[in-house]
Structure 1
């Protein structure tokens, strides 16, 4: 006999339940009956333990088979035994599908259970009872069920439940099918986990409560079944309507169930067990299938559209539950008399206005406020919530539209309950479906369908609605097709007849015209083409195909306008499409130029490659109705013309750029040469004035000059030397640049001691270093001594030129810094330096120049690389500024020239000279210092055998006075003689040697600039009595403000003007000039001022900006009278002078000039302004 786990899978839950039942029960099934056998044969599938304990077990099974055959006639189905008491009255049957469950009706004597160790085996069944004792392996549902508050229900706590109740609950919870148990007089409801989805929101509040409250909405239909179960009857119900509140609304549901009575130990009814099966889908699908069958049957009989719509409405009216209401409109075309003939084409009818006309309604009256009789239809989207606006949207889109009261799209007039339809509930969703006879055609009708309020719109319901609409559309197509075919055939016959007549007349003309056109196109030097309105090519001559670089087959394979767009250059595609739009939509002729992609042609003049340019001229052919029928035009190859235009534009641009660079070059170097020349002339005048003032005979060999006069003369001489050196640098740069451009620069090698050469450069600029108060150092790196470098062979003049360029740059940019230091480092190596030692990367050589040398091969021994680094504490450089360095006529920024001057050639020439000597140059900036590093290739000098080595100088560093290290101090300069002094400082442990250059204290100190932080500006004002008092001539002394950023020019001009009897004030730039004016008599103050000498090129604020601000303040009244201003500038071009006058200058004086000539001019200007 099989156990509960060995029975078929669909009986395991029942077997598990019966294994706990004390009533003897067995499950049997009947085998296929032999036609010759008059009785069924029964097979036992399962017997519970209580049955197996019966005395005479085999006889009981035979009695059951006999009772089954006596109780069930041979022609009756098995279900007829359900709930019946079998023949003999000892057994009762329950039927589940193909199985019969036979339960003992009366007490049957059982075999006593065997006893082992004093304990009956039947007591082990309590081990499965999780109701009385908790188990760790319970499912989540069983845990929930066990923890439920049963004490608050009529059932009481679980510990008080009877054994029968526990057995039924345990069996029900293990059943995989939905099961309900109604227990006791209070009809308390208990259910398993599979019932929860059917109850929806009622779970878990209905658990343990009266079943009437759980199914209150359908209690009247349920109560007979419950009462039958309590009465001991077995009752089966199929497709029982049981609405359930789930998915947020009261849903139409149907269930099939079998009600089994529950009997206690005394044989009394104590409840009902219900086996549930939901059959909602079966019921609704069958109902809707019937509706569609009826619709299909009726539609097959129709032959006219006018008969179709009433039939549809009638079938929808019969579907009371699934169609609460419906509204049907037909689409009418407003055909006027002029187009009402039979030959009116479908295209012309499609363009006519249309409107929707009401055919009928279902569930709604014809005068319902939400159902208009008719309304116009248009392609534009309607705004609003009325039903006609929604119908218009569905008609224009051709797609179903869903309206819902939840999102506000369903008009309130249609969100209603229709009596006796749709369960009498309010409709919440409606659909609007356009009815199309054929795909792509315009809708014939519009159907508004209110949906079943108790059904979800999805799944089977949506399929029903879709199939319903499809059946309707196909019926309309079948009805309409013959009429359209007849009409189309008549139109075709008329057209064919007319065309046949015209064809005979025009064929000959067309053939002649085509022949003439082809002859003309073949000999034409231009390309000719013809397209239809859609972009399909019709014709192209050979010249056109050749210009487009396309074969005739490829040309004719083009399907639309984008076919040619693929051959147009990417940058011209948008313009090509715009031209096409102009012809097809704007219907205008065009002229345009395009490049082909990416075909290139070689220019025959210079062999370079250029784009293929085509010029197109085309126009559209317009029909009488305004439509474009074709487009024709001509192509011309203009590649050579475009190439010549491009070449001409490039040459013009080059010429303009050369002109601009030439003008900038002339302006820059004119300014740089004139500026020091003015200081030279004024210093010479100063010397002449000083010598004249002492009134000593110049021919006296023992003439004694007063100390103060001698100091002034020496100061003027130093100024002249300094300015002459500056001019020499400018001229040398120009000469070197000219030689570089002409490849005439000659490298002349000679033997030299490199430290001596660097010291020479420092000595040359001793005066400038001293004036700027810069601390200069020479550093000999350990690598130089490790290689024992002494005399080397290289071009010392070119090396010195590079060192001077970098040194003067450092002086120029360091003199305005708070910390003023310059250090030059010298190193050597056998390998090519990388720059990492000084933290830089050398720039790559621009071009390879061949150096010219008077000798074939430089004399000397092994090759060496000499590396130089110039450190300074100047203002530093940004990344963008460093990118501009080493380029011709380029400085770090536009402000560099204004503030520091220079030609922009120094670093460019330095780069070229380094590369000519086999080296490179680079720059780095950071941590408050800038370093320029370069290296050159040299050879170690080896004396020849003819030379007397003993006659060579002893290799003592800086042996000559000209190259000896100099220590600058306030008292002047001294030359060190011993070795320790030559090195400047003792040798450090790491081998570095430092040479310190301390500038002496000069008589002139640069005054404080107005740009200094946290300090008030200081103006140097001299009240020294002039050697020639102008008051002797009865003239009033001039009070002059010199605004000049060049300290040398500022100093020399101040001295000369003071000697001319003027009271002098100085300022470094335009901002200090404006601040001084505020403290003068021009702004109601006490400091007198007669005239202003204003330079143009200055930092902070230039002269032109300053004079404009002065004149603006005069106009505003903050300066009470006109201030005489003379521009003093080295910019001598007429345009520059005119710009200065237009900006507001009274006069312009160009450098160089002499003070004796300037003073009368100032006096005249003051007199004119004062008068």
Structure 2
């Protein structure tokens, strides 16, 4: 070991200059030679080398390294293994163990074998590697989120097109058949208007979300009266409120008058967008209630940022992240005192299930392509509303219990203002599409006699000021609040990412159509050949399910319905069907899972029953997944009744020839 190199450095001195720890070990793991860097790694002195330095290994990596080390020593093979240190900030190191060849063993007088052991610091390399892996993982996750987001929007936009197409067929048939009542045409037109309004809302939400996500959406403050603006915003719902026989109240809490905020600076269009989202849901789910049908919109005000509104609403906890999004501090908002306009929407509808409430309070999860039908739709409604609240210095929250109705509350930060010299009130006219849809619905109500049976709800622009006990600042916590609060604590904490991922929530789905009688289709088929054909329609969208069922019944089929894959699976085990129309995106169990479950039931009947996939998903990978699950064919929304009949007929004939 004392060999002199260039007459100046010995092998030991040269080894001590290396930044890597080096040791020569005999067959018993005893150190024959170590350099200075290796000695620095040693935490004790002992006969076995591993025992001298292994205490620096991180506890989570120790067993893995020790097992590999001793196995290599026994087998006399080479080893390369990475591990972390147990330091306060863990460092990464790589251990390399290589058996010495015969020449080295002879030179070192190690007749029974030995190893050269090196330990090097790879913290910088490993950090770069992990960073690249994280970047790749996030890029893949963003790509998957984008695909699921596009799938979801495609599904939600294409879904109503089938209903529009079928109702158009009904109108054309009614025009040809002079004996068809005008009410049939009116109801078909009303369904089309619902679908158009739904699609407009989806497009509006997507555009708003895209601008918010890209930080391109700005607020446009203007002088106005919140109570009047909100009243005019809600007026578009009067025909639907009348049709569904929903009692509607619009009131001002005493706090509104106490704060003296008759005129304020605010972006009223954004405030109205949030209110429309919440009232749309309230109407939709109150219409499904079996008992009383009531909706009340209340407005209050505060000079301090409210921790909740009403007190019995649980706010989503966004913390500093939400406060940083507040865009009401720019010069165009002026220096007037700040106030907070608070709005509550309470309904006596079907409420929100525990599982759905938990998801409301989980971190943004828009990646899911389809939300549950109870609070279905694009999944963007609450997310857009929440972002708008944050942008306007506010927040939004909810409290609910299944079967007992829901309350959603939100607030906006505004600036006080003075009454303008001119008494001309601002114009809050709705869009042309909203105006047209409202007119169509009003005509439908008139044609079906709704106007003569029900009174139109009053939505005064100057509502009464009163004390509303449950939303007053001193209101006690009720059962629904405590129930929702517990569910919120069980959910995952909100952790907004750079892209501020979306959240599942109630958004306006296409509402139920009126039950109008079916019309015959211009398809040349023999009714007696279909008399025993039993079709199961599996579809969670109410309007599409009812229209498709009515169309098939008009063709002579016997039709049963299921609202999700689990119901379809149960139905197949109770009854026999000649064909199943299986939607893809559904709550509880989707179409792919339901098809696989049906095929796995194990009987000849379930193995051969024709299953036709009905979907708005159009990507090739999605279609392959559906076919691989056991579907026999696929038809894409929107589709014509003729095309659907031909698909069903082909599958039934094919089955009969097997």
TM-score (norm 1): 0.44
Other-structure match for 2:537: 1042
1:583–1:796 Cα change, 3 Å = same
Other-structure match for 1:904: 379
Cα distance in 1, alignment partners of residues 471 and 69 from structure 2: 78
The equivalent position to 1:782 in structure 2, one of 254, 262, 265, is: 254
Other-structure match for 1:888: 364
Alpha-carbon deviations, 1:217-252, whole Å to 9, x = none?
A: xxxxxxxxxxxxxxxxxxxxxxxxxxxxxxxxxxxx
The equivalent position to 1:943 in structure 2, one of 419, 425, 428, is: 419
Alpha-carbon deviations, 1:24-73, whole Å to 9, x = none?
A: xxxxxxxxxxxxxxxxxxxxxxxxxxxxxxxxxxxxxxxxxxxxxxxxxx
Which secondary structure does the structure 2 equivalent of 1:918 belong to? coil
Contact 1:781–1:991 (CA under 8 A) maintained in structure 2: no
Other-structure match for 1:617: 97
Contact 1:1041–1:1065 (CA under 8 A) maintained in structure 2: yes
The equivalent position to 1:1097 in structure 2, one of 585, 596, 610, is: 585
Cα distance in 2, alignment partners of residues 992 and 588 from structure 1: 75
Q: Say whether 1:591 aligns with 2:41.
A: no
Cα distance in 1, alignment partners of residues 45 and 588 from structure 2: 71
Please state how far the C-alpha of 1:671 moved relative to its aligned partner.
0.7
1:1050–1:774 Cα change, 3 Å = farther
Cα distance in 2, alignment partners of residues 710 and 519 from structure 1: 104
Q: Say whether 1:655 aligns with 2:139.
A: yes
The equivalent position to 1:932 in structure 2, one of 385, 408, 426, is: 408
Contact 1:527–1:635 (CA under 8 A) maintained in structure 2: yes
Cα distance in 1, alignment partners of residues 379 and 309 from structure 2: 27
Q: Say whether 1:540 aligns with 2:34.
A: yes
Other-structure match for 2:195: 723
Structure 1 unaligned runs (5+)?
A: 1-508, 601-609, 695-705, 954-961, 994-1000, 1007-1021, 1083-1088
Please state how far the C-alpha of 1:768 moved relative to its aligned partner.
6.1
The equivalent position to 1:796 in structure 2, one of 268, 275, 289, is: 268
Alpha-carbon deviations, 1:1066-1120, whole Å to 9, x = none?
A: 413356656766887x5xxxxxx7644332333455434544455556x62567x
Contact 2:326–2:390 (CA under 8 A) maintained in structure 1: no
Please state how far the C-alpha of 1:531 moved relative to its aligned partner.
6.1
Other-structure match for 1:826: 299
The equivalent position to 1:835 in structure 2, one of 308, 312, 315, is: 308
Cα distance in 1, alignment partners of residues 11 and 59 from structure 2: 34
Please state how far the C-alpha of 1:795 moved relative to its aligned partner.
0.7
Alpha-carbon deviations, 1:582-636, whole Å to 9, x = none?
A: 5777776643333334275xxxxxxxxx724233335599999999898642233
1:542–1:982 Cα change, 3 Å = closer
Other-structure match for 2:638: 1152
Greater per-residue strand proportion: 1
Other-structure match for 1:858: 333
Alpha-carbon deviations, 1:270-301, whole Å to 9, x = none?
A: xxxxxxxxxxxxxxxxxxxxxxxxxxxxxxxx
Which secondary structure does the structure 2 equivalent of 1:728 belong to? helix
Contact 2:250–2:459 (CA under 8 A) maintained in structure 1: no
Other-structure match for 2:148: 664
The equivalent position to 2:120 in structure 1, one of 614, 636, 640, is: 636
1:747–1:1048 Cα change, 3 Å = same
Please state how far the C-alpha of 1:1044 moved relative to its aligned partner.
2.6
1:597–1:855 Cα change, 3 Å = closer
Other-structure match for 1:807: 279
Instruction: Spell out the pairing of 1:949-988 with structure 2 (5 A cutoff).
Output: 949=423, 971=452, 974-975=455-456
Contact 1:582–1:590 (CA under 8 A) maintained in structure 2: no
Alpha-carbon deviations, 1:878-914, whole Å to 9, x = none?
A: 48953653743449x9984366433333222222211
Q: Say whether 1:1116 aligns with 2:603.
A: yes
Contact 2:536–2:560 (CA under 8 A) maintained in structure 1: yes
Contact 1:679–1:723 (CA under 8 A) maintained in structure 2: yes
Cα distance in 1, alignment partners of residues 599 and 171 from structure 2: 38
Cα distance in 1, alignment partners of residues 542 and 331 from structure 2: 49
Q: Say whether 1:923 aligns with 2:398.
A: yes
Please state how far the C-alpha of 1:1150 moved relative to its aligned partner.
0.5
Please state how far the C-alpha of 1:760 moved relative to its aligned partner.
4.4
Please state how far the C-alpha of 1:562 moved relative to its aligned partner.
4.3
Instruction: Please say which structure displays the higher CA radius of gyration.
Output: 1
1:1040–1:574 Cα change, 3 Å = closer
Q: Say whether 1:1004 aligns with 2:514.
A: yes
Other-structure match for 2:389: 914
Structure 2 unaligned runs (5+)?
A: 427-434, 473-510
RCO comparison, higher one (Cα < 8 Å, 6+): 2
Contact 2:255–2:300 (CA under 8 A) maintained in structure 1: yes
Which secondary structure does the structure 2 equivalent of 1:857 belong to? helix
Aligned residues: 588
Which secondary structure does the structure 1 equivalent of 2:397 belong to? strand
1:760–1:1054 Cα change, 3 Å = farther
Please state how far the C-alpha of 1:1149 moved relative to its aligned partner.
0.8
Other-structure match for 2:618: 1132
1:812–1:538 Cα change, 3 Å = farther
1:771–1:885 Cα change, 3 Å = farther
